[in-house]
A and B are shown apart, each in its own frame.
Chain A
Amino acid sequence: MAQVSLDGVTKRFGDTTAVDDLTLHITDGELLVLLGSSGCGKTTALRMVAGLEEVTSGTVSIGARVVNDVDPKDRDVAMVFQSYALYPHLTVARNIEFPLRQRGVDKEERAAKVKRAAETLGLGTLLDRKPGQLSGGQRQRVALARAIVREPLVFLMDEPLSNLDAALRVQTRADIVELQSRLSTTTLYVTHDQVEAMTMGHRIAVMSEGKLQQVAAPEALYNAPANTFVARFLGSPGMNLMEGMLVESGALAGADEGGRGSLSVAFPGASVPLPAVVGEAVRGAGPEVVLGLRPEALHLSEDGAIGASVVIVELLGAETHVICHAETGVTIVVRQSASAAKPKIGEAVRIAVDPDPAAYHLFDAASGARLGGAP
């Protein structure tokens, strides 16, 4: 077991920078998920740890050793590919055995280890089959068995679930989490699926356009996104973001002891007052800001601050998404429980924000960076 570190790692392909100054530390035994949309550089980062891509600048270390110039086979990592990359001409047993054979493990030990790995993943009866005769889920498990069989320092997984159907994906997700926690092997897991990231990762690193946006535990990432990209990327649907002006209102009437007024975010046609705690944290920032509100922090109420008209009502069973066109000029999604009254399409409604200070996220309009720290 080992920790994995990327320090100021950059990868360029010609004029394109795929990974830009990435610094990331994965602690011993941790499952870190690298999350981002396609083309964000997450797979390139993973491949640099594997040694399949050369690092343009910066250092990659596994344990205490800098591995920039170390051949993939000598890095003691195991990788699970999106396509599984099983050897089609070898049986399941030979596939699992391959890494051991290459390392000159003797025959008896090999047989014992293959048996153990196959049992761990429920492949005992499939050992004599060829990959072409297996289902997607079975191939996936063979790929995992091949990865765990030689007990590497690090697991690298590149979207291993994306070729599975929805039901199998949920099951395999749980299996991988269970396997990883049992083996306590440091794992770097790449995905574009935020549900995978949220449910599997001890921590999540969000990447966009080759740059690291934020690294945090799933809950922290969701509750305090570091910038508007992370805010919008995480959550389904993502956070509602509205550009407005931070204004001080009621400086005379509602002045606090310091003689300062309460803060609110003003939009064309609406104004959302900020709870005192939130206001204090961001006082002096702006004045151009972005107010972020999660769909579940909103509800329809007659005394809501934002006027809107309903565009679409999406029934999802357990909940309903009400998509509104707000008077502020943006689209706002409100998440309602299934039991709440459903508005009609075209109906004029008012949207209210929960009083909980944690519901309010403020970002700098120019940089997109979070204002006022974590709630």
Chain B
Amino acid sequence: MTAVVGVPVPAAADAPARPSASLRARRRKQSLLAYVLILPAMVLFGVFSFYPFLRNFKLMLYETPPVPGLPAHYVGLHQIIPTITSTSFTQSLVTTLVFVVLVVPISLLAGLGLAVAAHRKLKGMTAYRLIFSSTVVSSVAVAAVVFGTLLNPVVGLLPWLGINPTPPALESSTWALPSVALLTIWQFLGLSFIIMSAGLQSVPDELLEAARIDGAGPWTRFWRMTVPLLSPTIFFAGVISTIYAFQAFGAVDILIGNQNAARLHTNVLIYNIVTQLQIENNDGAAAIMAIVLFLILLVLTILQMRFLERRVTYAR
């Protein structure tokens, strides 16, 4: 770490004269302090993010034999194409995309709807806000157990309502993925609600009042004022929820598991990666899939940053 600390501070390019010795000493002290302050975060990121991330690129180049105990051998880039064209990967990518399409629009719309409803100045609204945002702090394990119970064919909510699908929802090739999506939507709803509520705070009441006087009804005000003004927020929530949905694992693992007949229909990317890694012992394939997922999410993040720059034009 001494090497990092010792990085010289470049003088400003347009500095009229060389800074005095005392000034340089002070600057060096300040930058030293700055590096010390970011050190803990850098260590954490280094150990849990950067190192595993870089390690992936090495794993990608090695093939692990299907028989346990044998050492992995170097294959270079040769296993990339077979992996990303394999049925396992393409099916899992399609499943993930379907899952994202199921989760993202509904959780955004529901979050927006709840945020608009809770934006009114009514008594007891704080309690509603607390309830709406509470899903964000509930653990996926607990939520999955609750949803699993609700969807249970014997003691669940569905038989109580007189609905008895065969096979049961969580074992059905049609309903297993929507069931996992439902849980994910419910879990993301809290965050979606919080993001949308924060966005609504930045829409001035006067704008909506002006629109009201100008003749716009509630529906027009929502679609022609609130939604366009919230569009950066909605886009932001969209990107976040897409990333969230792409990374779904816990819900699939607990709600469906690997003993379930429907598991092939809920085999989302992360679940597939974990299966490749832990069950198939195929480190190389897992690393390649992880990198593809990274690239997908990278593109989404770049899009988000580009779009957020447009917010400037919305300043009043």
Contact = CB atoms under 8 A, between A and B. Distances in A.
B13 interface: no
A87 interface: yes
Contacts of A103: 215
B215 A99 contact: yes
A332 to B, nearest CB: 43
A142 to B, nearest CB: 12
Contacts of B217: 73
Contacts of B213: 50-52, 72-73, 75, 77-79
B216 interface: yes
A76 to B, nearest CB: 10
Given A99-B214, A102-B220, A88 B206 contact: no
Interface stretch (B42-50, B128-136, B278-286, B308-316): B308-316
A130 B313 CA distance: 8
Interface in A328-342: none
Contacts of A82: 206
Interface in B209-223: 209-217, 220
B229 interface: yes
The prevalent SS among residues of B at the interface is helix
B215 A83 contact: no
Given A50-B213, A73-B214, A77-B213, A85 B315 contact: no
A255 B211 CA distance: 70
Contacts of B204: 83, 85
B214 A146 contact: yes
Nearest to A86: B316
A52 B211 CA distance: 11
B207 A73 contact: no
Contacts of B316: 83-84, 86, 88, 131-132
A87 B227 CA distance: 12
B215 A132 contact: no
Contacts of B229: 88-89
Interface residues of A, number: 27
A67 B216 CA distance: 18
Nearest to A156: B213
A88 B210 CA distance: 12
A81 interface: yes
B216 A81 contact: no
B212 A72 contact: yes
A267 interface: no
Given A89-B228, A102-B215, A102-B216, A79 B314 contact: no
Interface in A317-369: none
A132 B315 contact: yes
Contacts of B313: 88, 130, 132
A86 B217 CA distance: 17
Contacts of B314: 88-89, 132
Interface string B212-242: 1111110010000100110100000000000
A86 B314 CA distance: 11
B206 A87 contact: no
A98 interface: yes
Nearest to A88: B314
From B207, B210, B315, name the one whose CB has the most chain A CB atoms within 10 angstroms. B210
A166 to B, nearest CB: 22
A83 B207 CA distance: 9
B210 A79 contact: yes
Given A87-B225, A102-B220, A130-B313, A73 B206 contact: no
Nearest to B209: A52
B315 A98 contact: no
A79 B213 CA distance: 7
Contacts of B206: 81-83, 85
Interface string A57-95: 000000000000001110101110111111111000000
B214 A102 contact: yes
A98 B214 contact: yes
B209 A73 contact: no
Contacts of A84: 316
A120 B209 CA distance: 25
Interface string A206-239: 0000000000000000000000000000000000
Nearest to A99: B214
Nearest to A84: B316
B201 to A, nearest CB: 16
B269 to A, nearest CB: 36
B215 to A, nearest CB: 3
Contacts of B315: 88, 132
Interface string A179-200: 0000000000000000000000
Contact of A87 (B207, B231, B312): B207
Contacts of A130: 313
A77 B314 CA distance: 27
Nearest to B313: A132
Nearest to A133: B313
B100 to A, nearest CB: 28
A103 B28 CA distance: 66
| 4 A-B pairs with the lowest CB-CB distances in the bound complex, closest first | A102-B215, A85-B210, A99-B214, A85-B206
30 contacts: A50-B209, A50-B213, A52-B209, A71-B212, A72-B212, A73-B212, A73-B214, A73-B215, A78-B213, A81-B209, A81-B210, A83-B204, A83-B316, A84-B316, A85-B204, A85-B206, A85-B210, A86-B316, A87-B210, A87-B211, A87-B225, A88-B207, A88-B314, A88-B316, A89-B231, A98-B214, A98-B216, A102-B214, A103-B215, A130-B313
Given A71-B212, A98-B216, A102-B215, 17 more contacts: A51-B213, A52-B209, A52-B212, A72-B209, A72-B212, A73-B215, A73-B217, A79-B213, A83-B204, A87-B210, A87-B211, A88-B229, A98-B214, A102-B216, A102-B220, A132-B314, A132-B316
